[in-house]
């Protein structure tokens, strides 16, 4: 069963890398581990017959957004988080953070419970629908530019706003200082 | 074949990891990274559900999530840069100027 | 069936072998062409006309001591060149380099000359090459040296800026051919206008080809866009602290990226293995010739055009190249709609 094996490999890689992302004290290593996690997710997308999304994931997330993060980490030469040399420092922090950890654990339990108690999820993921339709790029384009036309245009405005916002926020003003 | 629930469980675990990161970390860049993990967990759910229903709509929502993530990263990092200029720190607890 | 598998493995092995040796050949070609442009002989001592110079270079690099700065990030410092060279090799995986062939009747069914045929092949090449930037950025960061850091920073900004124009130029070609598979894009360029002008996208997309070329040179960090290295300002940029084999991997990755860029350009704009009066079974010779010419152009440009200033690079990328690419895409779409509606 190569596909099952691939699924568990990619899933383990994605979860492991993501867990390490939040466990790292060095932001540079966090960014790199997140890239690995995105790569594994792209593998899962290929298994789900979505090759175009998988490649877009690599190009947009790993190739552009993460380079931006890397750029900022390098630019700020960001200091490492207040370094306790203790590997369990995260869990041992003071009151409020510990509540946060408990809440996160509760969320995981609740999500798993919800997933396990709903019926109809146990069937194989590719039971319905034709793989050729789902993985077809022309079909994707057709639906995107007809049914989701308004959302598409709205997104372009969002990008424009984000661009202007980023320039205004991060740009140095010459009349100050 | 792999059941749909397995993909959803992977997604749930990733989402919880992201939430944990947002709660626990005291570094603005890592907090932003954790938000990206959460967005990706949601993406995985969308694609898995879309595959089960045999439509491409799930993938299209993922494109929108990706553009929103790109916008969020650009603005978020711009805010991080301007905050860093003021305080020389990335710890969110350092920015308490207007706290009660 | 087993023969077919063997042939396919052979093709993969051949492609790998060619890519490895391409860097050696290109190093020699680069130095010889540079010398010719500067009215010198170039390497002349090792072997006849200096032909064995790359071998001597490799031996020298292998013998050197591997140095690592004390405060460098141990893991990333080693990982960076590996990422660079792996991304460079992997990018070639979906680039086809010849038509289907039976090797003169050796096989029952024709086999495709190329490693993998994916229906989003063009995007895979694009995605994997965009991973290559991490090699350079990490090398710059992990070295813990100011010149390296500046080289890495410049590299990341340059890659993001020029990837946009590059992708927009590709979009026009995808629009014309209606496919993301490189093999189908090449096959869409078969045939002639008026019986003698080959139907290459070069003639439909002259502006797109120029934009692709400029962005491609910037993506591979070659002069006049070699800012990550920029030896006059940054010593040697991102690879300042590297030595021995780790150092050798960076130029290796750069030359392989050049080959991939040229091969993709050949497939997208120059009709791939189609050439007037060349039967399609021998198309791979035409393909090699076109790639060779583009590689020569790469070297030619490097030793002819002086380096830009960094702010000029950014200005040019965002204020000229990207608008030109977008306008090119808009015009292509409008004309395409007019003729096909």
User: Using CA atoms, how far apart are residues C117 and C108, in angstroms rounded to an integer?
Assistant: 20
Tell me the mean pLDDT in the region C182-204: 79
CB-based contact A125:B4 (threshold 8 Å): yes
For residue C79, pLDDT over 80 is answered with yes
- Contact status, residue A33 vs residue A64, Cβ threshold 8 Å: no
Is the distance from CB of C74 to CB of C145 less than 8 angstroms? Answer: no
Range of the domain at C84: 2-340
Q: Strand C98-101 relative to strand C197-198: parallel, antiparallel, unpaired? A: unpaired
* Cis amide linkage into residue B77, ω under 30° from 0: no
pLDDT at residue C280 is higher than 80:
no
Residue contact B63–A53, C-beta within 8 A: yes
Q: How confident is the model at residue A157 (pLDDT cuts 50, 70, 90)?
A: very high
Q: What is d(CA C81, CA B62) in angstroms, rounded to the nearest whole number?
A: 33
Q: Name every chain C residue with its beta carbon within 8 A of the beta carbon of A32.
A: 76, 134, 138
Q: Give CA torsion, residues B46, A58, C181, A153, to 10 deg.
A: 60
Q: What is the mean pLDDT of residues A101-117?
A: 81
List of residues 6+ apart from C188 with CB closer than 8 A:
C176, C177, C178, C179
Using one digit for the tens of pLDDT, what is the confidence trace for C33-52? Answer: 888 888 888 888 887 887 88
Mutate to test the interface with C, among A36, A68, A70, A80 (most CBs of C within 10 A): A70
Any chains having at least 3 CB pairs less than 8 A from chain C are A
What pLDDT score was predicted for residue A88? 54
Q: What is the pLDDT of residue C162?
A: 86
Q: Residues in chain C, how many?
A: 341
DSSP C117-149: --TTHHHHHHHHHHHHHHHHHHHHHHTT-HHHH
Q: Kindly report the nearest CA distance between residue C233 and chain A, in angstroms.
A: 19
Q: Which of A48, A37, A33 is nearest to A11 (CA)?
A: A37
Q: What per-residue confidence (pLDDT) applies to C206?
A: 86
Residues 29-48 of A with CB under 8 A from B: 30-31, 34, 37-38, 41, 44-45, 47-48
Alpha helices in C64-179 (DSSP H): 74-91, 121-142, 146-177
CA distance A8 to chain C (A): 23
Q: Taking residues C124-152, what's their average pLDDT? A: 84
Cβ of A61 within 8 Å of Cβ of B17? The answer is no
Whole-number Å distance between alpha carbons of A20 and A14: 10
Neighbours of B24 (CB within 10 A): 20
pLDDT band at A177 (very low <50, low <70, confident <90, very high): very low
List the single residue in B3, B29, B79 with the smallest CB-CB distance to A121: B3
pLDDT at C327: 92
Q: How far is CA A4 from CA A49, A129, B1, B14, C3, in A?
A: 14, 20, 7, 19, 30
Nearest Cβ partner of C120 from A29, A55, A74?
Answer: A55
- Alpha-carbon dihedral of residues C244, C250, C256, C259, nearest 10 degrees? -120
Q: Predicted confidence band at C1 (pLDDT cuts at 50, 70, 90)?
A: low
For Cα atoms B68, B74, B78, give the angle at the middle one, nearest 5 degrees: 145
* Contact residues, chain B, for A100 at CB < 8 Å: 20, 23-24
Question: A128 to chain C, minimum CA–CA distance in Å?
Answer: 22
Structural contact between residues C166 and C209, judged by C-beta atoms closer than 8 angstroms:
no
Helix (H) or strand (E) holding C192: strand C192-193
Residue A84 is predicted with a pLDDT of 47
Beta-bridge mates of residue C197: C193
Give B95→chain A minimum CA distance, Å. 15
* Strongest mean pLDDT among A96-100, B83-87, B91-95, C161-165: C161-165
Decide if C127 and A58 are in contact by the 8 Å CB cutoff.
Answer: yes
pLDDT grade for A91, boundaries at 50, 70 and 90 = low
Tell me if chain A has a CB within 8 Å of the CB of C163.
Answer: yes
Which residues touch A83 (CB under 8 Å, ≥6 apart)?
A25
Helix (H, G, I), strand (E, B) or coil at C113: strand
ipTM of this predicted structure: 0.86
Percent of chain C with pLDDT over 90: 3
The pLDDT assigned to C315 comes to: 86
Q: How far is A81 from chain C (nearest CA, A)?
A: 17
Interface mutation target, options A34, A52, A63, chain C, most CBs of C under 10 Å: A63
Report d(CA C32, CA C44) in Å as an integer.
9
A88-A92-A95 Cα angle (round to 5): 155
For residue A95, is pLDDT > 70?
no
Q: What pLDDT does residue C115 have?
A: 77
A81, pLDDT greater than 60: no
Whether this prediction's pTM lies above 0.90 is answered by no
Using a CB-CB distance cutoff of 8 angstroms, which residues of chain A are in contact with residue B20? Answer: 22, 100-101, 104-105
B18 Cβ under 8 Å from any chain A Cβ: yes
CA geometry: angle B55, B61, B67, nearest 5 deg: 145
Cβ within 8 Å of residue C254, ≥6 positions away: C88, C220, C221, C222
8 Å CB contact of B56 and A134:
yes
Subunits with 3+ Cβ pairs within 8 Å of A are B, C
Q: Say what the pLDDT of residue A97 is.
A: 65
Report the C-alpha gap between C203 and C209 in whole angstroms.
9
pLDDT digits (tens, 9 = 90+) for C99-137: 777 666 666 677 777 777 777 888 888 888 888 888 888
- Sketch out chain B's domains with CATH numbers: 4-89 (1.10.287.3510)
Interface touch C120/A52, C-beta < 8 Å? yes
Contact C134 A28 (CB under 8 A): no
Q: Which pLDDT does position C125 carry in this prediction?
A: 87
- Is residue C272 within 8 Å of residue C186, measured between CB atoms? yes
Residues of chain B found within 8 Å of residue A64, distances taken between Cβ atoms: 70
Strand C192-193 versus strand C98-101 pairing type = unpaired
Q: Would you call A50 and B59 a contact, using CB atoms and an 8 Å cutoff?
A: yes
Q: How many angstroms separate the CA atoms of B2 and A123, rounded? A: 8
What phi, psi does C96 have (nearest 5°)?
A: -80, 150
Higher confidence at residue C104 or residue A4? Answer: A4
Show residues of chain B in contact with A81, CB under 8 Å. 25-27, 30, 90-91
CA gap C242, C238 in Å, rounded = 9
Q: Which stretches of chain A are DSSP H helices?
A: 2-23, 27-47, 51-56, 66-76, 89-92, 95-117, 131-134, 137-146, 149-170
Q: What pLDDT, in 10s, does the model give residues A125-135?
A: 776 677 777 77
Confidence of residue C330 (pLDDT cuts 50, 70, 90): very high
- Average pLDDT per block of 10 residues along chain B, 100 residues long: 82 87 81 90 90 85 90 88 77 68
Taking the Cβ of residue A62 and every Cβ of chain B, the question of whether any pair is shorter than 8 Å is answered with no
The per-residue pLDDT for A174 is: 60
pLDDT the model gives residue C249: 86
Chain C residues whose beta carbon lies within 8 Å of the beta carbon of residue A159: none
Give the span between the Cα atoms of A78 and A80, in whole angstroms: 6
The CA–CA distances, whole Å, from A5 to A11, B48, C26, C158, C328 equal: 10, 18, 41, 39, 45
Angle CA C9–C12–C14, to nearest 5 = 105
Q: Which of A35, A51, A67 sits opposite C156 (nearest CB)?
A: A67
Average pLDDT rounded to a whole number, residues C175-190: 83
- The dihedral formed by the CA atoms of B44, B45, B48 and B50, expressed in degrees to the nearest 10: -110
Q: Which residue has the higher pLDDT, A67 or A171?
A: A67
Q: Does B65 contact chain A (CB < 8 Å)? A: no
What's the pLDDT tens digit per position in C283-328? 788 888 888 889 998 888 888 888 888 888 888 888 898 999 999 9
pLDDT at site C188: 81
pLDDT for A78 equals 56
Q: A170 and B82 in contact by Cβ < 8 A?
A: yes
Instruction: Work out how many domains chain C is built from and give that number.
Output: 1
8 Å CB contact between C275 and C186:
no
């Amino acid at each position: 069963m190569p596909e099952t094996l691939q699924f568990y490999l990619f899933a383990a890689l994605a979860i492991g890398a993501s867990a390490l992302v939040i466990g790292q004290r060095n932001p540079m290593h966090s960014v790199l581990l997140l890239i690995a996690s995105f790569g594994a997710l792209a593998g899962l997308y290929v298994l789900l017959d979505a090759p175009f999304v998988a490649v877009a994931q690599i190009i947009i997330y790993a190739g552009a957004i993460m380079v931006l993060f890397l750029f900022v980490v390098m630019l700020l030469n960001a200091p490492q988080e207040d370094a306790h040399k203790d590997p369990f420092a995260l869990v041992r922090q003071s009151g409020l953070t510990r509540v946060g950890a408990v809440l996160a654990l509760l969320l995981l339990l609740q999500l798993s419970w919800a997933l396990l108690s709903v019926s109809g999820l146990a069937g194989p993921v590719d039971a319905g629908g034709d793989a050729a339709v789902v993985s077809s790029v022309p079909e994707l384009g057709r639906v995107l530019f007809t049914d989701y036309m308004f959302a598409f245009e709205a997104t372009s405005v969002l990008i424009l706003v984000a661009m202007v916002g980023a320039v205004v926020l991060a740009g140095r003003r010459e009349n100050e200082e | 074949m792999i059941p749909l629930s397995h993909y959803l469980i992977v997604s749930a675990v990733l989402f919880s990891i992201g939430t944990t990161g947002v709660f626990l970390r005291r570094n603005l860049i890592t907090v932003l990274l954790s938000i990206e993990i959460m967005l990706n967990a949601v993406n995985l759910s969308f694609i898995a559900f879309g595959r089960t229903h045999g439509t491409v709509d799930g993938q299209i929502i993922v494109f929108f999530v990706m553009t929103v993530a790109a916008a969020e990263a650009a603005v978020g990092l711009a805010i991080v840069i301007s905050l860093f200029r003021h305080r020389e720190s990335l710890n969110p607890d350092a920015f308490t100027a207007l706290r009660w | 069936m087993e023969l077919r598998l063997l042939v396919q493995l052979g093709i993969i092995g051949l492609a790998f072998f060619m890519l490895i040796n391409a860097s050696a050949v290109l190093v020699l070609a680069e130095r010889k062409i540079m010398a010719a442009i500067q009215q010198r002989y170039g390497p002349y001592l090792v072997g006849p006309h200096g032909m064995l110079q790359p071998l001597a270079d490799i031996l020298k690099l292998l013998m050197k001591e591997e140095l690592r700065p004390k405060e460098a990030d141990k893991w990333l410092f080693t990982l960076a060149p590996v990422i660079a060279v792996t991304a460079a090799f992997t990018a070639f995986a979906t680039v086809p380099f010849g038509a289907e062939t039976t090797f003169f009747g050796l096989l029952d069914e024709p086999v495709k000359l190329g490693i993998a045929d994916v229906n989003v092949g063009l995007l895979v090449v694009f995605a994997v090459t965009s991973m290559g930037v991490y090699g350079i950025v990490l090398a710059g960061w992990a070295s813990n040296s100011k010149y390296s850091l500046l080289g890495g920073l410049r590299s990341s900004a340059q890659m993001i800026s020029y990837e946009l124009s590059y992708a927009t130029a590709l979009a026009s070609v995808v629009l014309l051919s209606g496919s993301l598979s490189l093999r189908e894009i090449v096959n869409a360029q078969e045939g002639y206008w008026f019986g003698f002008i080959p139907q290459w996208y070069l003639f439909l997309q002259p502006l797109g080809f120029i934009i692709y070329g400029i962005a491609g040179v910037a993506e591979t960090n070659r002069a006049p866009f070699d800012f990550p290295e920029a030896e006059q300002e940054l010593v040697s940029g991102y690879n300042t602290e590297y030595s021995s084999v780790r150092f050798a991997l960076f130029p290796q990755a750069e030359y392989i990226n050049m080959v991939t860029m040229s091969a993709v350009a050949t497939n997208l704009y120059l009709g791939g293995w189609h050439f007037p009066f060349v039967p399609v079974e021998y198309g791979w010779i035409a393909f090699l010739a076109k790639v060779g010419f583009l590689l020569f152009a790469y070297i030619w440009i490097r030793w002819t055009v002086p380096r830009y200033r960094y702010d000029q690079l950014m200005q040019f990328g965002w204020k000229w190249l990207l608008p030109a690419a977008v306008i090119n895409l808009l015009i292509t779409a409008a004309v395409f709609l007019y003729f096909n509606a």
